[in-house]
Structure 1
Amino acid sequence: MSKDERFPGWHGTTIVAVRKGGKVVVAGDGQVSLGQTVIKGGARKVRRIEPGGHPVVCGFAGSTADAFTLLERLETKLEAAPGQLARAAVDLAKDWRTDKYLRNLEAMLIVTDGRELLVITGAGDVLEPEHDVTAIGSGGNYALAAARALYDSDLDAEAIARRAMAIAAEICVYTNGNVTVESLDG
């Protein structure tokens, strides 16, 4: 049975991250959809964790339970390598790709410690965006395009992220305007 047969019509989430002016902002919408029905409008898909006193902001798209499993694993990796986000991300991606249980998880993560900004995927990828902007989820490409277009304006990182999320919500039916924002200084 394929994933689409097990979870028909699951869509949702837009997460965008912008690094500008010494700050990294991660913003995410709150919509959870099942097929054409909005199940919840106020989910919180952007979170701050502080393993070992080192703050990290994480945004996730995909299955919520899977994303929480990955966030817990990332937190464990960060506790083992305090302040080393890239190392923890690579270790998580390796486990995610090779572990019999983890490889079936359906989610993606954007993580930042204020210095590094990374996308972690179940394919074993740990990606650093070229243009200080990245996005994931159903409306991710809309938010990414909007944020890239706004980047050279006078807007700061938070204003760019909020505007990009608003644009994505206007275009993507699986994205709403109920936005959670977390930021860290770089």
Structure 2
Amino acid sequence: MAPNDLPNHFPAWHGTTILTVRKGGIVAVGGDGQVSIGQTIVKANAKKVRRLAKGDVIGGFAGATADAFTLFERLEAKLEQYPAQLMRACVELAKDWRTDRYLRRLEAMMIVADKDVSLVLTGTGDVLEPENGIVGIGSGGNYALAAARALADTDLDAETIVKKAMAIAADICVYTNRNVTIETLKT
């Protein structure tokens, strides 16, 4: 069975948690390190969050690893084409992702952030900016999102909120672990 022939009850892109919080002049993007195939953990320390565009953009992915790397490479190319224009680069990537026959089959979602904007990119052509600077994706994304929203009104900084929210998600979601990578940028 080819990867794209997997039944709908096995959506590969749900097995992770990625969270972004913007607060107090900092944007923090965090992701857990668990890689699962079905009910089996195959790796606990994957790096799903990384810097792009010479460090000016942070990206995190939920989904099939090879698909995510393909999307990161395509986004890097768009960022070279449209330097310092994350929104424009993401819109152009989303157009390609939606219309290109090869890219259309990729099973992943991405969160990307720079000093100005945080965005979610999906294979359906969506480029979404969260209203409150907080967004989560993946199987534990909604748990981390709810925790981060609850913590946003406290004195905690963005990075600490991501750490605490990711820990809460790991307590609830079996596809999320506590081996978290967090990258930050000043806004």
TM-score band by shorter chain is over 0.9
2-structure distance, mates of 1:140, 1:73? 24
Q: Structure 1: 5+ residue runs without aligned partners?
A: none
- Contact preservation (8 Å) 1:9, 1:34: no
Unaligned runs of 5+ in 2: none
Once residues 77 and 178 of structure 1 are traced to their aligned partners in structure 2, the CA distance between those partners, rounded to angstroms, is 30
Determine what percentage of the aligned residue pairs are the same residue.
66
What letter is aligned with 2:20? Answer: A
Deviation by residue 1:55-75 (Cα, 9 ceiling, x = unmatched): 110000000100000000000
What SS class does the counterpart of residue 184 from structure 1 fall into?
strand
Residue 58 (structure 2) aligns with? 57
Q: Name the count of aligned residue pairs.
A: 184
* Cα displacement (A) at 1:9: 7.0
TM-score (norm. length: structure 1):
0.94
Structure-2 change in CA distance of 1:158 and 1:169 (3 Å):
same
Aligned-residue offset at 1:162:
0.4
Task: Give the alignment of 1:132-151 within 5 angstroms.
Answer: 132-151=133-152
- State the partner residue of 1:37: 40
Cα offset, 1:4, TM superposition: 3.1
| Aligned partner of residue 178 in structure 1, secondary structure | coil
SS in 2 for 1:77: helix
Helix, strand or coil at the partner of 1:148: helix
Distance verdict in 2 for CA 1:115–1:9, change over 3 Å? closer
Q: For each residue in 1:13-56, what CA deviation from the matched residue of structure 2 results, as whole angstroms up to 9, or x when unmatched?
A: 10000000011000000001112111000000000012xx4611
- Map of 1:125-136 to 2, 5 A cutoff? 125-136=126-137
Structure 1 residues 53-62 or 123-132, which shifts more?
Answer: 53-62
- 1:15 is aligned, of 12, 15, 18, to 18
Name the counterpart of 2:6: 4
Corresponding position of 1:78: 79
- 1:28 pairs, out of 23, 26, 31, with 31
Q: Which residue identity lines up with residue 80 of structure 2 in the other structure?
A: E
Name the TM-score, length of structure 2 as normaliser: 0.94
Superposed CA RMSD in Å reads 1.7
Q: Deviations over 1:70-108 (max 9, x none)?
A: 000000000001000000000000000000100000000
Displacement of 1:5 in angstroms is 3.0
Matched, 1:158 2:159: yes
In structure 1, C-alpha distance between the alignment counterparts of 2:38 and 2:91, rounded to whole Å: 33
Q: 1 CA distance for matches of 2:113 and 2:23?
A: 13
Runs of 4+ in 1 over 2 A off after TM superposition: 1-11
